Chains A and B, each alone.
Chain A
Amino acid sequence: MARVDAGRLLAELNEGWRAMGNDHTGAHANDSTGVLRACSMTLIAVASAADDPEDLSRTLASIMHDHPNRSIVLRVGVGEHVEASTAIQCWLPFGRQKQVCCEEIRVSAPRGQLDEVPPILRGLCVADLPVVVWCRDAALAASADLAPVLQLAGKVVVETSSAPASAACHSLSALRPGHPRIADLAWTRITRWREFIAREASGLCATAPGEVTYSGQGEPMAALYLAAWLRAVMNVPISLRCEDPQPPQPGMGRIRAVRLAGLEMRRTAPAVVEASCGLSRSSSVFPLLDNAALLRDELAIWGADPYYDAALGHLLERR
């Protein structure tokens, strides 16, 4: 088995670009045809053996349109040795004649050999552009094995929606000290809730305690984040209550309702939340968001995110 070498992988990618250039003879940047090489960051997507590689690939392809990047998919716990391969993904933007192409490098490593991976990744990161690590499993992200990989990143994105709250909070606590830019797609999922609350509650003088209710077993991270954010920005006590132990219908999300000083916002259908305050009623459409849409939003934020930091601070403080 040949040693995985970053230089060789990059040479492979260059060869791929050259071949594509030859396929479009005469094409260059000013032509209306041909390919356009696009890159604004290195995105290292860390997946466990249980993750569906096809699903991951589709998500990465989908975000390329907004955030063209060199993707490095690191599959952890796969195979007996560290292995790697390269690919170039292209798409034709609507109404254009020129394909936009991005690079993808697939690296797999058994858990015991993860320490061999960071030197390879260091050689593969695009020079002078930001590096983001996206690891859906927060516990894996917080593990000591992955720490050297996370050290490469300016931002670490995790996903705690399906994790038990205590485990998720434990992982986030472990991640927080070493990485000032942590993001959680479970937080990104509640943006529409927060936006709707901001609209409906603007001018509201809430002094009485509020409440966030949810359905399903165990406190969901989304509800915990929402309550923590409300505490941070409104400075009132917010309690959490399970309204229905049955799991929600598909697409409904686990947050059922928010109550604040006479204002109630309630999810009434998969894409609809209604607000009522006295006789006044309004509703808002909450589009169903997949991983790609969430990641797209998160990758648009590079600097400090004081709103998330404040909510996470409140959340961890209380647990």
Chain B
Amino acid sequence: MPGLLGLEDPLRFNNPVAPCAVVIFGANGDLTKRKLMPALYRLAYERRLPAGFAVVGVSRTAMTDDAFREKMRESVARFLEDSPFDEELWRSFAQGLFYQSGDIGDSSLYAGLSQRLEQIARQRSTAGNVLFYLSTSPSQYAPAVEGLGAAHLHRREGAWRRVIIEKPFGHDQSSARELNDRVRSVLDEQAIYRIDHYLGKETVQNILAFRFGNGIFEPLWNRRYVNHVQVTAAESIGVEGRGGYYQEAGALRDMIQNHLLQVLATIAMEPPAEYAAEAVRDERAKLLKSIQRIRPEDVPRVAVKGQYGPARIGGEPLPGFREEPGVDPLSQTDTYAALTLEVDNWRWAGVPFYIRTGKRLPKRVTDIAIEFNRAPLAVFGDAGGGHWPNLLVIRIQPEEGISLRFSSKVPGAGMNLRPVMMDFNYGTSFGARTPTAYETLLLDALEGDATLYTRQDMVEASWAVVQPVLDAWSETKFDLPNYAAGSWGPASSDDMLAARGHVWRVP
């Protein structure tokens, strides 16, 4: 009879990853080269992958296994972040790399893949467990899943089969539903891992630790103490050669519908009953469903669309969005989007959540600022801290950390107050390297942990938030561009906050 404790020691043992193979559709693409393969290599470096682990790259280009290995070696050596490249480890890792060419719409690809996987299972003892990663163009997600289903690759007796689907999950609410219907006609929800790499960022996960691992903040985390919340995701770069793609997506679809709404859900969700996939995802989903639906007539009041124009910065001329390669000179695409959202629940009723994102803003920064109510009585008069209410800033990138602004007396005679920041810098307390979002998320999927993956109801709830804005914008002709590269966005964005007596922070 076993003892009370059991053999597993969760304090010291890593979660075991079962023997398995990963199949990457779109193996010749940028994501595979820049993120996926470096992440898998790094997991091998950390000894987190099982013996016999294999990767099968799938793409249209004809290529031998060796050519694929060489291509991946170059990519890993080039794109590995904060980590050394070890030739010896690479040689052992590369033995598990294979390549299969073919067209996603062609059934012979899946027949070949099936044979290949059987062969690999025998040679490398992967036990028939396979994680499929769809890193293709979004239009190929459904055909790929249907191809897997038709070839009976989506399930196997005594083994697990899982599918990771990259964002964007649909380009609007109805296409997201349609995609889901097609995917669900083949796969159970438990086998679907919709990836949002923002949720894999260490600092986004740290929001959960900050909120639910500490006792002093949660009592303040509600409408009684919080005045408003600002979420900023600014990029200083433009579209960087992705003009064609970006023109179809825009800032609202590309950033807010997925990443920033997930961040908002993490900030505002109720505490989960336990740190387990469904408990956490239930709370995130509940929060997203609680976001007040925007009525079409309210869109001009609560949503701002922007597009950057040309500018000279540091003596260098920068093109406007419409001058970028591959972009329509009359494009109506949003390179900046800002929303005012309200959450209809007891905790947050009446508290505005402002979200903004944009390209060619003054700097690259992603953070969440929670502004608290002012002190109820200004006992220090005009010299007091009333002008500077307490502000809690959770910095996601580039310098991860948490800051709290409070008022302090200026040294010397009199009672003059001024704001000071108390900073916690993630790097100050932890010198160790943090895993990349893709390392975290890939490992989670291999372990069967879907906590940081989005569920269909979350995807649909997010689309429901932005869909009225997308609809209204598609029916309106905007006078664009309306902000200069290097500025903090269009003036109408400031007006949106000013209408409620608020101003955007300068992060």
Binding site for B on A (CB under 8 A): 29-30, 36-40, 64-66, 68, 91, 93-96, 98, 100, 191, 194-195, 197-199, 201-202, 231-235, 282-285, 287, 297, 301, 305-307, 310
Binding site for A on B (CB under 8 A): 1-3, 5-9, 11-14, 16, 47, 51, 81-84, 399, 423, 425, 427-433
Q: Which residues of A contact B83 (CB under 8 A)?
A: 94-95
Closest to A198 in B: B7
How far is it, in angstroms, between the C-alpha of A194 and the C-alpha of B84 when the chains are bound? 30
Given known contacts A100-B431, A307-B12, what 20 new A-B pairs fall within 8 Å (CB)? A29-B428, A37-B428, A38-B430, A40-B429, A65-B432, A66-B432, A93-B433, A95-B83, A96-B82, A98-B427, A191-B13, A194-B9, A195-B12, A198-B7, A232-B3, A233-B2, A233-B7, A234-B7, A282-B51, A287-B47
Q: Evaluate contact between B1 and A235: CB separation under 8 angstroms.
A: yes
How far is it, in angstroms, between the C-alpha of A98 and the C-alpha of B398 when the chains are bound? 13
A-B contact pairs, 11 of them (CB 8 A): A36-B428, A68-B429, A68-B430, A93-B82, A194-B7, A198-B9, A202-B7, A233-B3, A233-B7, A234-B2, A235-B3
Q: Which residues of B contact A29 (CB under 8 A)?
A: 399, 423, 425, 428
Q: Evaluate contact between B427 and A36: CB separation under 8 angstroms.
A: yes
Q: Evaluate contact between A39 and B429: CB separation under 8 angstroms.
A: yes
Q: Evaluate contact between A66 and B9: CB separation under 8 angstroms.
A: no
How far is it, in angstroms, between the C-alpha of A64 and the C-alpha of B5 when the chains are bound? 32
Q: How far is the CB of B158 from chain A (nearest CB, A)?
A: 14
Q: Evaluate contact between B11 and A38: CB separation under 8 angstroms.
A: no
The secondary-structure label for the interface of chain A is mixed
How far is it, in angstroms, between the C-alpha of A232 and the C-alpha of B9 when the chains are bound? 13
Given A29-B423, A198-B7, the answer on whether A95 and B429 have CB atoms closer than 8 Å is: no
Q: How far is the CB of B506 from chain A (nearest CB, A)?
A: 13
Q: Evaluate contact between A305 and B11: CB separation under 8 angstroms.
A: yes
Q: Which residues of A contact B427 (CB under 8 A)?
A: 36, 38, 98, 100
Q: Which residues of B contact A40 (CB under 8 A)?
A: 429-430
Q: Evaluate contact between A68 and B431: CB separation under 8 angstroms.
A: yes
Q: Evaluate contact between A199 and B11: CB separation under 8 angstroms.
A: no
How far is it, in angstroms, between the C-alpha of A235 and the C-alpha of B4 when the chains are bound? 9
Closest to B8 in A: A198
Interface centre among B1, B3, B6 (most CB of A within 10 A): B3
Interface centre among A91, A95, A231 (most CB of B within 10 A): A95
Enumerate the 10 nearest inter-chain pairs by beta-carbon distance, A residue then B residue, closest first: A198-B7, A95-B82, A233-B3, A66-B432, A235-B3, A100-B431, A68-B431, A195-B13, A307-B9, A65-B431
Q: Which residues of A contact B1 (CB under 8 A)?
A: 235
